Structures are given as structure tokens and as C-alpha cells.
Amino acid sequence: MAENGPEAEPDPVPLFIRRQLEKPPILPGESAREFKSLFYQIEFSAEDRKKTAADYMMNYQATVLMWNLQRIDRMIVAVIGHTHLAAVAALIRRTNKSGESEPGSMSYREAHALALDYFKSEEVKKGLLERFAKAGYGPDAVDVEAFDQAFPQLTILYRQQNAAQRQLLVFLKEIDRRNSRRAKSCARSPTTCFPAPGNRQRAQQADGHRKADPGQPQKCAVEHRAA
């Protein structure tokens, strides 16, 4: 039995992009649903019918770059956290009364065992922090040492971050340029942009739900980003 009402509009997103969204380039533990949501937030504009496959490809690449940047941000925090145990052990060896331990020695291994206790026992932690303070270290000695030990890995991540940021900025500027060009074309011929109620509804949402004057043709909504 045929359904009442207008036929559903075809999905304007090209098939090859939709297939990429079904199997996005994410790591275990990351959310495919969140990746897809990020794509549609970047992709959204009021002039869907004017977009080309190249436009959608640029939106997808911008999504990948932004996703990778978010991952790098998480990795920076994780790398620093990962070195806290080694940082505590290093401070224990440096504040040893008999001098810093040699790698492989008994006192070296004992420093590692005591560093584990630092994270298990508040009493041990308090005692070690007092020991570090007596040796001249500040209250944030563990955090500083952890950052110092993580710095070689952080340097690599910062380079990747800077490169991804530059690439993303290029994509976003080009996306804004294309959106602006489509918006001007849409303003000259609104019906080619919003031929169906679904598109008109998206345009109203993008335009802040402003009501159009019934006597005037509906105009495109343009989302201006800072260049």
C-alpha cells in the first residue's frame, strides 16, 4: 500500500561518503556514532541541493582531521599520566640518602616498588611528598617530572597536532568559501535550494528559526564562521 503524503527525499550525501561513515577510520574504544554526528555538524548547511560530491568529500576530510585532533589531545593527557609512576620512582632515587641508585641495583628496584605504594597508600604518598619537599622539590614535583619524562613523546604529538591544525584550517576556509558561494546563488533562486519541506525546515533551523515574510521569497540561511 502506498504511503500518504509526499515521497521521501533521497539522501543528498553521496553513496561513497555514506559507506565511509558506516566504517569510519576510528580506533577501538572510539564511537562510530560520534564520528558520524561530527560529520553532519560540519556538513550541515541550508543549501544541500547545491552541494557537489567534492563538497561532501571536503566535509568528510575535515571531519577526519578534527577527529584526529581530538584524539591527539586525549593522547597528550594520557602520555603525561602514563609517566607518573616513572616520575615518582625517579624522585625517590634522587632523594635517596645514599645517593642516586644505579639501574639494576637493589635500591633501584626498591624505588619502583615504593613508587607503586605511592599510588596505593595515602600514608606512603604523604611521607614521600614530605621527603621530596625536604630535598628542595616543590609540591608539584611529580607533575613536573612526569611532564619532563613524557616530553620526547609529547614533541612528536605536538608536531602532529600542529600539522593537523594547519590542514584543518585550510579545509574549513575552503568549506566556508564554497558555502558562501552557494548561499549567494541560493539567494538569487531560493526554490532551487529548498524545493521540498524537509530542506525548508533545515534552512529555518540554520537561520535561527526566523519566520519568513509570507509575501517575500524565502532566503537562504548562511552560517558565517570567523576566517
Domain boundaries defined on the chain: 15-81+158-206, 84-147
Distance (Å, whole) CA 16 – CA 64: 15
Query: Which pLDDT score, from 0 to 100, does residue 119 have?
Result: 95
> Cβ–Cβ contacts within 10 Å for residue 84, how many?
19
Average pLDDT over residues 101-124: 86
Band (2; pLDDT cuts 50, 70, 90)? very low
Average pLDDT over residues 209-225: 41
CA distances 187 to 72, 191, 215, 219, 222, Å, are 40, 9, 16, 6, 10
pLDDT-above-90 percentage for the chain: 57
Query: Is residue 166's pLDDT more than 50?
Result: yes
* pLDDT tens-digit readout, 168-182: 999 999 988 888 888
Whole-model pTM? Answer: 0.70
pLDDT, greater one: 13 or 205? 13
Query: Which pLDDT score, from 0 to 100, does residue 226 have?
Result: 40
* pLDDT tens-digit readout, 14-72: 999 999 999 999 999 999 999 999 999 988 865 656 788 999 999 999 999 999 999 99
* pLDDT tens-digit readout, 7-27: 555 678 899 999 999 999 999
Query: Is residue 74's pLDDT more than 80?
Result: yes
- Residues whose CB is less than 8 angstroms from the CB of residue 69 and which lie 6 or more positions away in sequence, other chains included: 161, 164, 165, 168
